[in-house]
Structure 1
Amino acid sequence: MAFGDSLTWGTDPVGGGRHAFADRWTSALAAGLGPQYAVIPEGLGGRTTVFDDHAAAFDRNGSKALPMLLATHSPLDLVIIMLGANDLKASISPSAHGALAGMGRLVEIVRSFPYRPQMPVPKVFVISPPHFRDCDNGEGPASGRIVAESHKLAAGYRQIAEANGCGFFDAATVATAHGSDGVHLDAQNTRAIGAALVEPVRAFLG
């Protein structure tokens, strides 16, 4: 299961709306892994790790949604988590510290969930999202995000992953945010994440 936000859902910053199914990184990952694997996409625009967004019309708190989704989709071999970009909104938790604490909590939720008897505790694979960038019009990233704080997530997420025996991947090594809003990805960069994850995920699953 791929648990994420609009980067997983497939928000299209160029044409608006949503990327075609084949262009979403979860679809690219599934295609690369082959038919013996099933990738379940669970992306929601605006989702945070553990923070409530009271300005939204629906619940975006990942720590509230994750237990329900673990129960819905079990048994799972792996939970991939790519979150944190929305934690860094100015109105939520603009420094990286909040996202790091939130990611640690999500890993804990996966590990401690009361799975049904005979069902495995899934492995966890943590992804740090692509860095923010200034927009083409000279403004900063959407919703008051700070570019420098997005650069801090990878090192922190890597430490969390290593401390908990999780897999880790830095999506900023293969994908760059689009200049329209400084946060979201065009189709090429979205697909690039899924393609780059194929071998690391296969190796991590053994």
Structure 2
Amino acid sequence: MKHILAFGDSLTWGFQAGKWTRHALEDRWPNVLAAGLDGRVRVIEEGQNGRMTVHDDPYVLENRSGAVALPIALSTHQPLDLVIIMLGSNDLKWEGRQRAIDARLGMARLVEIVRTYVYKPGCAIPELLLMSPPHLAKTEDEDFAFYFEHAIAESKNLAYQYAKLAGETQCHFFDAASIAKADPVDGVHLDAANTRAIGKALIPVVRGILSL
């Protein structure tokens, strides 16, 4: 059996817009992907609300830096055949750190972590799939608009930046915005149909990467 680490933020965790709860297990994109691969692959959900590429959030108890969490996940779940990383929306949240190029630099650090981590004997370096998230959208939710509305335009640049990084580092790339849209309830998260759409769209992509 192949093993995939799905590493991301609330879009991977399955945050339901407007409800502050989690989508049903069968609706979250990592599990839709696993179901579509006919039991031949285990997809490990590793999503954390608010996670950024390399930055921490000083306003919460838990550390939200992907650069801190990723080595722990690699250690815990090795051996891995593929790591899928979808991050970047939260990197745009704070004024002064809202450029897609900054998220790309953070993603580059995560690529380096996966490639240079010292795996146990017999564990190969996994393939890497960089995934840009759906674009941020306008919302009537006052709090989410405060955090993200200034970054809507910049979120549309993430796909370009990540595709360029993937080309430079020989990673695979997928643009989730090509098949999924943020729920306007909060302008960030996904409804069940859109998170399922990501999982379904990844099935042929992952089959190709892992030669399934």
| TM-score scaled by length of structure 1 | 0.95
Query: In the alignment, which residue of structure 2 is the partner of 1:124?
Result: 128
Aligned residues: 206
Residue 181 of structure 2 aligns with an amino acid whose one-letter code is T
Displacement, 1:52?
A: 1.3
- Is 2:205 the counterpart of 1:200? yes
Q: What do residues 3-42 of structure 1 show as CA deviations (whole Å, max 9, x unaligned)?
A: 0000000000043311000010011100111111110110
Query: In the alignment, which residue of structure 1 is the partner of 2:176?
Result: 171
Q: Percent identity?
A: 50
Instruction: Name the SS of the counterpart of 1:41 in structure 2.
Output: strand
- Is 2:88 the counterpart of 1:84? yes
Query: In the alignment, which residue of structure 2 is the partner of 1:185?
Result: 190
Alpha-carbon separation, structure 2, partners of 1:73 and 1:31: 19
Query: In the alignment, which residue of structure 2 is the partner of 1:153?
Result: 158
Displacement, 1:144?
A: 3.4
Structure 2 matches for 1:1-206, cutoff 5 A?
1-91=5-95, 93-136=97-140, 141=145, 143-145=147-149, 146-206=151-211
Alpha-carbon separation, structure 2, partners of 1:119 and 1:162: 25
Q: What do residues 19-68 of structure 1 show as CA deviations (whole Å, max 9, x unaligned)?
A: 00001001110011111111011000000000111011210000001001
Q: Any gaps of 5 or more consecutive residues in structure 2?
A: none
Alpha-carbon separation, structure 1, partners of 2:138 and 2:31: 28
Residue 41 of structure 1 aligns with an amino acid whose one-letter code is E
Instruction: Name the SS of the counterpart of 2:84 in structure 1.
Output: strand
Instruction: Name the SS of the counterpart of 2:128 in structure 1.
Output: strand
Alpha-carbon separation, structure 1, partners of 2:64 and 2:136: 20
- Relative to structure 1, the CA distance from residue 142 to residue 22 in structure 2 (aligned partners, 3 Å threshold; closer, same or farther) is farther
